[in-house]
Structure 1
């Protein structure tokens, strides 16, 4: 696994690759309309801070099926709900719920159960990646140019690119969390998928969210087997 860190200085870009063995990708499904979700969101914030210099990655997807319960989550998307349903099929576990946490596409947990989640992270870190993903990017106004390279067997897999806002807070006025200020971490603002069956390396250009800025966002890419949902490797770009 490789983490590519980019430092922008004028028009120059400098990359540094750090080889890692095991990794843990934490995918949380959450909502501002769910009263059980704030503890899970806060746990993700603690884990993100604790593991910020290691190969543990956090993605928080705000689903939209709570939006009709009195409060519409500004970060929610039907795309993230659809992704959670895909995991329900992969894992053979329905119905879907919040807060649900999935590690490396293989195991799911209640997102607020800290002890079992930390044990799940340790177990994931003990298993080396089966492939190697390298990811780098450059940013100009309204454009993210990404370069990727996958080494190893990526058959039946896709490269998934998440554009992530590192943190935010919301003043919730209605619903189960009415009159609360909620803190969010590692919010997925965009999700893009690239089929790796055609080419395991290449370039792509994304139009970032309107509120994108290099200080408050990062890009996380991961290779996922589309047959069973397993995550094969992860890479992160820091601007």
Structure 2
């Protein structure tokens, strides 16, 4: 469907539905028995831009959400995608990507919307709201469908200075029927600070967390049981200044209809 002009929204809104030494590190997700009983995390994605006047406030909300400031009974996995359609407005977002704009457009179409905007939050691929509306965000998370947490063990291997190999093996803990689903892996970075000399946020120093730097597909699955072992490897190219202590990994399963049904997150070891 055609999309209308993008916009930057603020205020309130309601949600709708080399020869380098090889180093390896293994991590597993740490979920309590009670969390497993209640269901796994809810995936919260935000589409944002340093060129959007109202996005910084929304990113502060998402940072607080990821830190647990809202003390929700529902665990969350937070990812922030910086889009590139604001880059011509005086400031080019260093974390912006056409890939993330395409991802947002897919959600806009799946949700039956006719406007693409920032800051937009999508919860479990099924509901959305304006990113700086705390009440709508919490309501969307509270009422989101819950699925068992993915159960993956992850090995991180730094084979060269500019690449990171991620090996995963585990189970989805949810049955996948005849509809194809993708197991996706996102590498994100927190603690980012940027001085903004131009654009709508001129003169501000912006802090960004959970910023997705890489997103890759581990595999596609179809007609598999919840207990079937899934395994695969991904090689991420690394950016200048990569610091593993600031980075995390999120794994999630997404159906062809864009619904998320299972996620899991890991903090990268401090010294990879």
Output the TM-score relative to the length of structure 1.
0.86
Query: Does the CA-based 8 Å contact 1:219-1:238 persist in structure 2?
Result: yes
- Which residue of the other structure, out of 128, 139, 146, is the alignment partner of 2:167? 146
What does residue 156 of structure 1 align with? 180
Equivalent-residue separation in structure 2 for 1:165 and 1:183 (angstroms): 11
User: Is 1:37 the counterpart of 2:55 in the alignment?
Assistant: yes
Counterpart of 1:50 (choices 53, 68, 75) is: 68
The 8 Å contact of residues 25 and 156 in structure 2, kept in 1 or not, is answered as: no
| Aligned equivalents of 2:140, 2:87: Cα separation in 1 | 30
Matched, 1:100 2:120: yes
Measured in 2, the distance between the counterparts of 1:145 and 1:115 equals: 36
Equivalent in the alignment of 1:173 = 197
Distance 1:231 1:180 in 2: 35
User: Structure 2: any 5+ residue segments left out of the alignment?
Assistant: 1-22
Aligned to 2:260: 231
Higher-Rg structure is 2
RMSD between aligned residues: 2.4
| CA pair 144-95 structure 1, distance change in 2 beyond 3 A | same
Aligned pairs, number: 227
In the aligned structure 2, how far is the partner of 1:51 from the partner of 1:144?
Answer: 32
CA distance in 2, matches of 1:95, 1:153: 34
Maintained 8 Å contact 2:49/2:118: yes
Correspondence for 1:27 among 30, 45, 49 = 45
Q: Secondary structure at the match of 2:209?
A: strand
Residue 93 to residue 102, structure 1, CA distance change in 2 (3 Å):
same
Once the two structures are TM-superposed, the CA of residue 129 in structure 1 deviates from its matched residue by 0.4
1:183 to partner: Cα distance: 1.1
Q: Which runs of 5+ in 1 are unaligned?
A: 1-9
Report the counterpart of residue 204 of structure 1 in structure 2. 233
What is the aligned partner in structure 1 of residue 142 from structure 2?
122
Contact between 2:186 and 2:250, CA under 8 Å: does it hold in 1? yes
**Contact 1:30 1:99 (C-alpha < 8 Å) held by counterparts:** yes
Q: Which residue of 2 aligns with 1:5?
A: none
